[in-house]
Amino acid sequence: MRKTFLTILCAAFTLMATAAQAQIGEASVTGGRVSGVVTNGIAAFKGIPFAAPPVGDLRWKPPQPVKSWTGVKMTGSYAASCVQDVTFVKLFGAPDAISEDCLYLNVWTPARSANERLPVMVWIYGGAFVGGMTSIPAYDGTALAEKGVAVVSVSYRLGVFGFLAHPELTKESGKGSGNYGLQDQIAGLRWVKENIAKFGGDPNRVTIFGESAGGISVSMLAASPAAKGLFHRGISESGGNFGPARTANEGGATVPSLKVAETTGQAFLKRLGVADIAAARQLPAEKIQGVPGGQSGFWPVFDGDVLPGDEYELYQAKRFNDTPVLIGTNSDEGRLFAPPEATPAAFESFVRPSYGKHADAILAAYPHATNEEAAQASRDIFRDATFAWPTWAWATLQAQKGTGKAFVYYFDHRTPQSPNGANHGSEIGYVFKNLGGGGALGLPGPPRPEDTAMSDLVSSYWVNFARNGDPNGPGLPSWPAFSVASQDAMHFDTKSSARSVPNMAQLKALDGYFAWRREEAKSKK
């Protein structure tokens, strides 16, 4: 009898444990059924197709509907990364497979049933629009999902494959050309809207978040009519796109007009040695990738369609997707891009042609009398013109023109490897709670207690924001919304708290410069 009782008791415990750990291991999505992998209460689905392979005649076209499959597709490993320089893959410790067939996404969910309606966080990777992939270890969504959100990461085409503009392509579409990578992101968001409920996610509570080019993408999606209604909050880490169109080598301007981008595309086809787009579509991806300038010359475009125009002006006219935003920059991220050494003369020779009649004001805002000061100024002006001013301008416009609140941060967490400030991308591991390993984005050794504490703090704010549109929560330092009057930002450092936005003298100098550039651009129309 005692043996029978023990057998029944063990069976009961087994059933209880099984019920407690039940996860969504399979789901029916657009195209067919998928099966994931469940580990410690988190179900991971990797390599779900969300569009047809953009190959052959579909190269340089908007993403097309996914091709259906029969049976159950096993989604236990990442799909190949989009075509790019293999250096990126190795640098970040990702699997080495690259392919033009790359429009896949990944889902991590802690949901135990499809009716949980968890907040959803959709990650858009960075890499200057020429590199990046979802399979970087630092982007694994497991630890973030453990905090009660469904996490999605989306691939998008890069370099010439994602952002080639050309008169033939513009004529073909009737709407402009050059933003295929952004259209991939939008297609991924449509997939989320249509399918994420199958994974226990709430399609009406979607937060897009990204870093660098991914953060810039978030700001572009916030201004794109094609993304309207597909997300409800936005997080941009070191991103933003509020400068006027690039027509030459203007300082701080990165997005070309359609005309400039088409000229770049025509020159590329000449280097490729083909007469037209039809011939270019017949070439192997490796040949296109191997042509000099096949990556660095391409960027999203003000095409008049996906990106209607200057985002600063769109916000002023209240023509944007108005949601709460959480946006910020890192204290020393210019170090990654600026030369390690500089002279006062070299700094001035860079600033004067780039910043035109505002060069004197810019030079006055960045002390550069010695070599050491010039090197620091080179780092700081890259940080401010590329990341900090767009973030500050975005927050100001959102506060003035939007109903959604803006929350601004300044990440200044220092480590033995970065004693002078936080490098570009260094916040990513803290957001995802992936601090160890992971190539260039991971800590080189075990995390210190202060690293773990910072990760708990940052990830809690991010998840709260995804849940409620506000990062604040019990036990966290108060984070006030940004306003034009107070200009507060959360400083992440040894005493994390809300303080004034830093480097205001430099930001105001750049603000004057960008205002002049906008007026110059209008006069040329």
* 358 flagged as catalytic: no
- The Cα–Cα gap between 39 and 21 comes to 10
Q: Which residues are 72's β-sheet partners?
A: 33
Q: What is the DSSP string of 443-461?
A: BSSPPPHHHHHHHHHHHHH
Identify which of 458, 179, 217, 484 has the alpha carbon closest to the alpha carbon of residue 330: 458
- The Cα–Cα gap between 306 and 289 comes to 25
Q: How far is CA 270 from the centre of its chain?
A: 32
* 333 flagged as catalytic: yes
* 212 flagged as catalytic: yes
Q: Answer whether 294's CB lies under 8 Å from 100's CB.
A: no
Can you tell me which residue has the tokens 């550039």? 517
Integer angstrom CA distances of residue 331 from 242, 337, 418, 484: 20, 13, 11, 22
Report the 3 state secondary structure along 79-95. CCEECCCHHHHHHCCCC
Active-site residue (options: 166, 368, 413, 424): 424
Active-site residue (options: 81, 212, 455, 496): 212
Q: How far is CA 7 from the centre of its chain?
A: 53
Q: Answer whether 437's CB lies under 8 Å from 356's CB.
A: no
Tokens (6 digits) for 407: 């929350």
Identify which of 362, 345, 370 has the alpha carbon closest to the alpha carbon of residue 251: 362
Tokens (6 digits) for 424: 């570009």
Q: Which residues are 74's β-sheet partners?
A: 35
Report the 3 state secondary structure along 385-427. HHHHHHHHHHHHHHHHHCCCCEEEEEECCCECCECCCCCCCCC
Burial class (CB in 10 A: 0-12, 13-18, 19+), 361: middle
Count, in order, helices (H) and strands (E) of the chain.
Answer: 18, 16
* Strand spans (E) along 101-200: 104-109, 118-124, 150-154
- The Cα–Cα gap between 462 and 470 comes to 9
Phi, psi of 454 (to 5 degrees): -65, -40
User: DSSP 3-state assignment of 32?
Assistant: strand
What H or E segment, with its residue span, contains residue 519? helix 504-523
Identify which of 381, 390, 341 has the alpha carbon closest to the alpha carbon of residue 363: 381
Q: How far is CA 176 from the centre of its chain?
A: 23
The widest CA-to-CA distance across the chain, in whole angstroms, is 94
Active-site residues, by number, are 212, 333, 424
